[in-house]
A and B are shown apart, each in its own frame.
Chain A
Amino acid sequence: MDEDEEDDYVEYDDDDDDMSKSQDARDSSHTPGSFLDQSTSPSTEASSIPPTVRPSMSRKGSAQTTKGASAMARDLQFYLNYFRNHMSVHHYSLKRDTHGFLKGDFLSWATKFEPLKYAVAGYAAYFHTLAQPDGRMSTFLQFYNESVSRLRIAITKNKKQGLATFLTILQLASIEV
């Protein structure tokens, strides 16, 4: 990913979290949460709360009312960064990254559609977890569930679903093959 696309990313991002913190996350090589102040490490928090009872599950996408939700939004940037730097078309069994498919058009769709963004982050979290000696699957599940619930909301709001939804389903299915 070159610098231009990094800039594009910030532009496309319509998320609601604190952008300056996201910037830190994108450039950080630490695990998620390590750039936060000591008292609120999101990685610990994320892995200790079962995904089914996370407060973030019920939020509608704009209200950053709980610490869990904002921590998750910051983790999101970390895993999207992990996707950019440590994942390839081979993680998708797409054989060849023709015309920069994965980090070009596909990532651009992911930055514009929240359910897909969370699904991509979840997939990255899955591989990041595997690479850690003490990684926990709950992080991945949290993003996966967030993607599914946001997708449900998107489908309820708008019956006419398009390519972004299709890509989200493909991304969600990727974890199962």
Chain B
Amino acid sequence: MLGDWVNLMGHQKAAFEMLTRLYTPETIVKSDFLCKVLLWYIRFDLFVGFQSGGEAVLGREWYEAVHECYVEKVRDKPDDIEMLYEERFAHSRLVAKDSNDLFARTAKGLVNPQDFMTQLPKLKERVEALRRNLGDKLTDPSYKVHQIPGEPDPEDFVNPYEPDVIWGGPLWTSNYLQLDLWGIQFMFAISSSMALKVPLDPEVTKEAFKAVQVFEAICAYPEAPPGALLEAQVSFAIATLFLPKDQKTVQWLRRTFAKIEAAG
């Protein structure tokens, strides 16, 4: 937002010290409230790690603990949609950390090339599995939004008004789950292409167009809650890296980013 990430690093460090002094991976998962607070901190942890090109600071055991906690809750109540979401999000945090850390450690020379080449396909499989393993309950097509009022802009290269692009009602969160997983997939694709010095996978570009369409549909959906665009724009921003660089696209991007800027 204000872009002062040096300051953010200061906050993240202070938060890290407090978190690890107040709790352990075992104690923090004793309360639902604290689990959510941990996920909140984890967002900063990953963000700062990613921005600085370093590893996420918090140990993997914390990421595992919060995921395991939600796995158990899902086991107890397999129909509790809130726990189904939290379990998937906690799992995606773990994959995001592993992905970020592998590339960061390799760049620092902490992982030798052979190990990297052994670990990379395993990581790729986990990243690709994310969107396959959402489960029927979180992707129930009967909650798709069939119609969003409005007309497609001829200047726009995705159509947010197409039926069934986003979920509504109780599955609204699935849009964010989907965007989150795309974000991880895109980051993996970029890091992987840089590490292996190969061009970006064209299959990922197709996914990027879909992510842009979901973002645009969230913007156009009149029932979206406040702040909807703000949270959706992170994955959108990553997706735009895959878009063509022609004049029309670049101008459209400028307009869209101006819209995001105005929203925070």
Contact = CB atoms under 8 A, between A and B. Distances in A.
Interface of A: 86-96, 98-99, 101, 105-106, 126-127, 130, 161-163, 165-167, 169-170, 172-173, 175-177
28 contacts: A87-B226, A88-B226, A89-B227, A90-B225, A90-B227, A90-B228, A90-B232, A91-B230, A91-B231, A94-B43, A95-B180, A96-B89, A96-B173, A96-B176, A99-B32, A99-B33, A105-B33, A126-B1, A127-B264, A130-B264, A162-B22, A166-B15, A169-B14, A169-B18, A173-B8, A175-B1, A176-B5, A177-B44
B36 A90 contact: no
Nearest to B179: A95
Secondary structure of the A contact surface, majority rule: helix
A30 B225 CA distance: 21
B22 A88 contact: no
Contacts of A165: 18
Contacts of A105: 33
Contacts of B43: 93-94, 177
Interface string B31-60: 011101101110110010000000000000
Given A87-B226, A173-B12, A96 B86 contact: yes
Contact count band on B: 35 or more
B92 to A, nearest CB: 10
A163 B30 CA distance: 14
B82 interface: yes
A162 B39 CA distance: 18
A95 B47 contact: no
Secondary structure of the B contact surface, majority rule: helix
Contacts of B208: none
A175 B230 CA distance: 12
B27 to A, nearest CB: 12
Contact of B225 (A88, A93, A98): A88
A91 B226 contact: yes
A98 B234 contact: no
Contacts of A172: 11
Given A86-B226, A176-B5, A177-B1, 17 more contacts: A87-B227, A88-B226, A90-B226, A90-B232, A95-B231, A96-B85, A96-B176, A98-B36, A99-B32, A99-B33, A127-B227, A127-B264, A166-B18, A166-B22, A170-B15, A176-B1, A177-B44
